Amino acid sequence: MKKIILVIVAVIFLVAIGWAGIYLWKNYGGFLRNIEEPSVNIVNSLENQNISPLPPNSTKIPLTLPNGFSISIFAKNLGAPRVVISDEAGRLLASVPSAGKIFALPDKNQDGAADETIEVLSGLNNPHGLALWCENEKCSLYVAESDKLSVYDYDKEKAAATNGKKIVDLPGGGRHFTRTLQFLPNNPDKILISVGSSCDVCNESDWQRAKVLVVDIKTGELKVFSSGLRNSVFMAEHPVTGKIWATEMGRDFLGDNLPPDEINIIEDEKNYGWPICYGKNIHDTVFDKNVYIRNPCMEPFETPSYIDIPAHSAPLGLAFVAAGNGWPKDYENNLLVAYHGSWNRSVPAGYKIVRYKLDAEGKYLGEEDFIFGWLAGGEVLGRPAGILFFDGAAYVSDDKAGVIYKITYHP
């Protein structure tokens, strides 16, 4: 009898180990895929190949672009760059949260690659969001760290930031520690700050979490702009309407295909549903089991997503293609979105840049892959993060390969 009990216990143990292994691989296997070194070095591949338009099934290059577009390495060996902006001297500025640094990347000889990497700031606490405002020859650089927003005097001639002053404290740490900045349209005194949730899905106790906040630069007053946003890591202003668009990452552990990630149009005093609603106002009954006297996910109480994105794509940077920048006419006012890529999906998804076709007012007309190939044969070669349009080119940060790409169009 004792042997039988031991056998039963052993079988139960092995079954439990097997189930746990399957669960961990399905939900966390992508984490290892995202950090391990791939067999193909995408930086070397791009520097040694001309990847102007080639057939989509070409094996000579790792990435595929539409006809007429090419991609190159603008800057490398940056660690894990995220947000990219430009200054009035024509340099790029990039935040590297994991290193606690901000870099300036000048291209003095205009050859399409940064000449050097200038350390603008260091010793910061996960700096992510950057915003620059220049007026009357004076420039102010705003930097959002995990726990605060600060402003520096920025010397555009030397790419130097000095005289840092804290504007407001922010809730530090948590599951989502990045803080992103976006000026309200034509208003240098009001900055939006995206603060993600402290958890995957929960009822937050901190009023500043899972929100887009707005701060008055002159008074330091911080208040809620919009709520119900689990993790809206990047924001962008529409070039025609002036409205603020943001990507949003949905919660985990509802399977491979739920919930959708989102693109939202962020407006004052609106609630976008998290943690009880997702997508087009779908009730998350796995988390929220309360009985309501009304449908818990409906306008005007909760605002549905504007565009749904496949679950676990992890959308980050987004940028509009402004008119007159030299790209094809049918790209004008379209939106490019960087899919950072999944970490908790049994079949990996994302790892690409998607083009959203929009009319001048932002009406959705369709979508298509713009650049893909960072996921190759089950290996992750890179993870696109931030996107910036500047001087007729798109610049894309990659926080796995440690580079910033430059995408150009050749008529």
DSSP 226-287: EE--S----EEE-TTT--EEEEEPPPSSS-SS-SPEEEEEE-TT-B--TTTEETTTEE-TTT
The pair of structure tokens assigned to 1 is 């009898």
Gap between the Cα atoms of 406 and 185, Å rounded: 27
CB of 225 closer than 8 Å to CB of 213: yes
Please answer whether residues 327 and 390 qualify as being in contact, where contact means their C-beta atoms are separated by less than 8 angstroms.
no
Measured in residues, the chain has a length of: 411
- Comparing CA positions, the residue from 354, 350, 320 lying closest to residue 335 is 320
CB atoms within 10 A of CB 280: 14
How do the pLDDT tens digits run along the chain, 411 residues long? Answer: 655 554 454 445 444 454 444 444 455 555 577 988 888 888 888 877 654 444 443 445 689 999 999 999 999 999 999 999 999 999 999 999 999 999 999 999 999 999 999 999 999 999 999 999 999 989 999 999 999 999 999 999 999 999 999 999 999 988 999 999 999 998 999 999 999 999 999 999 999 999 999 999 999 999 999 999 999 999 999 999 999 999 999 999 999 999 999 999 999 999 999 999 999 999 999 999 887 777 889 999 999 999 999 999 999 999 999 999 999 999 999 999 999 999 889 999 999 999 999 999 999 999 999 999 999 988 999 999 999 999 999 999 999 999 999 999 998
Q: Which of 386, 410, 269 is closest to 337 using CA atoms? A: 386
Give domain limits for the chain. 37-409
Cβ-count burial of 313 within 10 angstroms (0-12 exposed, 13-18 middle, 19+ buried)?
buried
As separate numbers, helices (DSSP H) first and strands (DSSP E) second, the chain gives 2, 28
3 Cβ partners below 8 Å, 6+ apart?
none
Contact 191, 225 (CB under 8 A): no
Q: Rounded to a whole number, what is the distance in angstroms from the first to the last CA of the chain?
A: 81
Is-above-0.85 flag for pTM? Answer: yes
Q: What are phi and psi of 85, to 5 degrees?
A: -130, 175
CATH topology of domain 37-409: Neuraminidase (2.120.10)
Q: What's the rounded Cα separation, in Å, for the pair 39 and 57?
A: 19
